């Protein structure tokens, strides 16, 4: 057995042992087609005020510039689909944010995987990334055969839908590449396009990030949200899952097995009024390791005011 085959099998098994649901491999090379799409997307201004997406363009499209000497890109998926449900009529929070911050959880797993590789295989160079570096993780997921990129911009797996975090490990280790995903199974389905509350999903598999509810409720730092969007957010206070909730492929989604992603009771049970009455000190204590800390207490209060101005929040049960 070639070393590359043995090493690939070792890594795949260890990834499963660490809790990752899928792991696939690709050759580290420049993503020419993705570079052209990203450049066009940025020129259209679809990133809004997310100026960081313009930075390090060359690193985003070529992993060998991000990790010198890189030969392989490992893509790992971690399921976050919950078994719990939020209380009806409570402010909507995207499912990815119900438990512990996924950055913390996945970084620990990636570090453990890197340590294992160095013990079992040798002194390799490698860097792990999760949604916080110039890496086109969905493109690498598709290139390594994990699924296709849907009309809503999410990676969709044929086996289990799209409620997955994507992690990337770039290394100078030679590994056996998996074949790219062969086709697109969205077909003529337009459920995500039709259901998007702000019409952010455009023809041609293009998402205008500057119209997305997640952009407004999480990324935008303005003190006030634009009045033109009032009434379009449905009940979403932090993020939005509408395009995933309506996707037919997510009928195959199964609840995760990751203890760290177990939903905080406050996420599931707080009423609108209780969110509005929460102090900054309480917020920091409860959500100190939650994705909600990204928008801060002030951002949550801004979003609540935007959602409920002119209407009385429901009374406490």
Q: How many residues does the chain have?
A: 317
Task: Determine contact, residues 95/49, Cβ cutoff 8 Å.
Answer: no
Q: Which residues are paired to 73 by β-bridges?
A: 26, 170
Q: What stretch of H or E contains 302?
A: helix 296-308
Task: Determine contact, residues 246/192, Cβ cutoff 8 Å.
Answer: yes
List 17, 32, 33, 131, catalytic entry: 131
Structure token digits, residue 268: 């599931």
Catalytic residue status for 34: no
A 10 A CB-CB count for 159 gives 12
Per-residue CA distances from 78 to 32, 87, 144, 298 (Å):
27, 25, 16, 30
Catalytic residue set: 131
């Amino acid at each position: 057995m070639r070393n590359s085959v043995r090493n690939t099998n070792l890594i795949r098994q260890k990834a499963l042992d660490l809790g990752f649901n899928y792991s696939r491999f690709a050759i580290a090379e420049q993503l020419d087609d993705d570079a052209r799409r990203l450049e066009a997307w940025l020129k259209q201004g679809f990133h809004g005020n997310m100026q960081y997406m313009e930075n390090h363009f060359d690193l985003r499209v070529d992993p060998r510039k991000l990790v010198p000497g890189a030969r392989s890109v490992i893509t790992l998926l971690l399921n976050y689909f919950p078994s719990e449900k939020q209380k009806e009529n409570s402010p909507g929070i995207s499912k990815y944010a119900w438990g512990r911050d996924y950055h913390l959880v996945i970084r620990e797993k990636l570090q453990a995987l890197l340590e294992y590789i160095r013990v079992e295989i040798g002194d390799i160079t490698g860097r792990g990334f999760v949604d916080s570096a110039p890496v086109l993780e969905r493109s690498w997921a598709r290139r390594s055969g994990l699924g296709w990129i849907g009309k809503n911009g999410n990676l969709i797996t044929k086996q289990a839908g799209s409620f997955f975090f994507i992690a990337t490990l770039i290394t100078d280790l030679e590994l056996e590449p998996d074949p790219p995903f062969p086709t697109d199974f969205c077909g003529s389905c337009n459920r995500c396009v039709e259901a998007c509350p702000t019409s952010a999903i455009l023809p041609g598999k293009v998402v205008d990030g500057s119209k997305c509810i997640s952009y407004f409720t999480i990324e935008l730092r303005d003190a006030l949200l634009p009045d033109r969007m009032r009434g379009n957010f449905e009940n979403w206070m932090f993020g939005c899952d509408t395009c995933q909730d309506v996707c037919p492929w997510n009928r195959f989604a199964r609840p995760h097995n990751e203890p760290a992603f177990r939903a905080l009771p406050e996420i599931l049970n707080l009423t609108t009024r209780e969110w509005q009455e929460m102090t900054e000190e309480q917020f920091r204590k409860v959500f100190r390791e939650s994705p909600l800390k990204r928008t801060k207490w002030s951002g949550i209060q801004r979003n609540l005011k935007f959602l409920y101005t002119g209407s009385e929040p429901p009374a406490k049960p």
